[in-house]
Amino acid sequence: MSANVTSRPTTGPNQALMPNLADGPQLGKVAVLMGGSSAEREISILSGTGVLQALRSQGVDAHAFDPAERDLCELRHAGFERCFIALHGRFGEDGTVQGALELLRIPYTGSGVLASAMAIDKVMTKRIWQAEGLPTPAWRQVGSVEDVRAALAALGRPMVVKPAREGSSIGLTKVSEASQCEAAFQAAAREDEQVLCEQFISGEEVTVPVLGSGAQARALPVIRIVAPDGNYDYQNKYFTDEVQYLVPSGLPADEEDRLQRLVLKAYQVLGCRGWARADVMIDAATRQPWLLEINTAPGMTGHSLVPMSARAEGISYEQLCVRLLQAATLDHPWEAA
C-alpha cells in the first residue's frame, strides 16, 4: 500500500550523501534487527523486511534477526560483523540493544547508548532542548488522573496526553474536557509508567530527517504532513492512503531553512549520529516551530518518511540503506574486534 506523496523532481543525487554501492559485498555478514518486544513490533517487522530486501539487492550478505526470538549473544557466535537496527520503541531504540552491541563489539546503525536512551524519553529530551534554548511545547510529567486534570488547567485546552517512552502515536490522546482525563491517563499508562501531558499546538505538522554525524550531519528536505481532520494517528500513519506527504513542503524557502537548522541543532545537542527524524509543529498564528520529539531509529516501511525525504534528494531506498549501514559504528570504535 503506497502513501499519497507529492514530490519534487530532483536535479540529481546529493553526492555528499551517496554511498558507494560497490562496497555492498565488502560490508561483511549483516544482521537486520527487527521485530523485538515493544508495542511497535509490527511496524519494526515491516521496516526490517524492507531494509533486508534492499541490502540484499545491493549484494550485502544480510540476514533477519529478531531479538524477541533469539539471544543477542548469537550475533557474535554466528559471525555477524554489523547490525542494521530496524527495531522501534523500547528494547531496540532506547539504548538497551545499543549497549549489548557495544559489549559484543559489533558496530550498529544509528545513535549510541546515551543519545538513544535520552531521545526515546520525551521528558528527558524536552529538558535538554529547554536547557539549550530550543522551543518545545509546555509540558508536565504526571503520575495520576488528578495530575492530568491539574495539567489541563495549567496547559490549557486542548492538550495531548501520551506515554513518555513510546512512538507511533501509541497511547496518545487529545484531551479537551476534564471528563476525558481518566481515560487518557489510563491509555498512556498502559504503555509506560511515565506519562507526559503536553500543550497542544494548532498548526501544520512537519517532519525533518537528518543524516550524518557531528559537523558533517545535515538535514534532508522538510515533509509537510496533511492528515484527515488533522488526525495523524497509528492507523493513518501506517495503514491508509489518506495522509498527504508534501515534498517539497510548500513552505517558504526561508521557513524550511529555519526548520532544518532547528532540527539539526536538536539532533546535535542530544548527541545523535547516523540518522534520525524530528517531528515539529508550526503554530498557525505565529509560525513559531515547536519541537515535539526525535526518533533515532525511524521507520523504513512503505509509508515511512525518511525514505520519502531522501528520494527528494535523489537518494533511493536501497542507497539510503547502504549508506546507513556503511556508517555503522560503536561508541568506542577503537575497541571493535
Which of 199, 218, 249 is at the close of a domain?
199
Q: Is 293 a catalytic residue?
A: yes
What's residue 233's pLDDT? 53
Which of 160, 175, 199 is at the close of a domain?
199
- Is 150 in the same domain as 217? no
- Is 242 in the same domain as 310? yes
- Is 210 in the same domain as 188? no
DSSP code per residue over 71-93: -THHHHHTT--EEEE---STTTS
CATH label of the domain that carries residue 185: 3.30.1490.20
Q: Is 168 a catalytic residue?
A: yes
- Is 76 in the same domain as 104? yes
Whether the pLDDT of residue 11 is over 60: the answer is no
What's residue 25's pLDDT? 67
Q: Give the residue numbers spanning the domain of 213.
A: 4-134+201-335
Which of 238, 245, 267, 317 is labelled catalytic? 238
What's residue 48's pLDDT? 97
Question: Best-predicted range by mean pLDDT among 4-18, 25-39, 261-275?
Answer: 261-275
No. of helices (H) and no. of strands (E), the chain: 11, 14
Which of 47, 295, 304, 309 is labelled catalytic? 295
In the predicted model, what is the mean pLDDT of residues 304-329?
A: 96
Q: For 112-167, how does the pLDDT look when each residue is reduced to its tens digit (9 = 90+)?
A: 999 999 999 999 999 999 999 999 999 999 999 999 999 999 999 999 999 998 86
- Is 104 in the same domain as 16? yes
Which of 41, 273, 277, 311 is labelled catalytic? 277
Q: For 57-105, how does the pLDDT look when each residue is reduced to its tens digit (9 = 90+)?
A: 999 999 999 999 999 999 999 999 999 999 998 899 999 999 999 999 9
- Is 33 in the same domain as 98? yes
In the predicted model, what is the mean pLDDT of residues 259-285?
A: 97
Which of 24, 35, 40, 224 is labelled catalytic? 40
Contacts of the segment 229-238: beta carbons below 8 A, 24+ positions apart: 230/205, 232/169, 232/205, 233/169, 233/172, 234/168, 234/169, 234/170, 237/168, 237/169, 237/303, 238/43, 238/46, 238/168, 238/299, 238/301, 238/303
Q: Is 279 a catalytic residue?
A: yes
User: What grid cell was written down for 94?
Assistant: 532506547
- Is 67 in the same domain as 205? yes
Whether the pLDDT of residue 286 is over 50: the answer is yes
Which of 24, 92, 112, 299 is labelled catalytic? 299
Which of 93, 293, 313, 318 is labelled catalytic? 293
DSSP code per residue over 3-35: -EEEEPPPSS--GGG---GGGGGGG-EEEEE--
- Is 170 in the same domain as 94? no
- Is 173 in the same domain as 210? no
- Is 324 in the same domain as 183? no
Which of 153, 170, 199 is at the close of a domain?
199
User: What grid cell was written down for 39?
Assistant: 508495542
Q: For 206-250, how does the pLDDT look when each residue is reduced to its tens digit (9 = 90+)?
A: 999 999 999 999 999 999 999 876 655 555 555 557 789 999 999
Q: Is 105 a catalytic residue?
A: no
- Is 80 in the same domain as 218? yes
In the predicted model, what is the mean pLDDT of residues 29-36?
A: 97
Beta carbons within 8 Å of 216's beta carbon, 6+ residues apart: none
pTM of the model: 0.88
What value does the mean pLDDT of the chain take?
Answer: 90
**Number of domains, the chain:** 2
Q: Is 277 a catalytic residue?
A: yes
CATH label of the domain that carries residue 46: 3.30.470.20
Grouping H, G, I as helix, E, B as strand and the rest as coil, residue 267 is helix
Q: Is 271 a catalytic residue?
A: no
- Is 208 in the same domain as 322? yes
The residue whose grid cell reads 524530528 is 278
β-strands 203-211, 223-226: how paired? antiparallel
User: What grid cell was written down for 104?
Assistant: 559484543
Q: For 163-194, how does the pLDDT look when each residue is reduced to its tens digit (9 = 90+)?
A: 998 866 789 999 999 999 999 999 999 999 99
User: What grid cell was written down for 28?
Assistant: 561483511
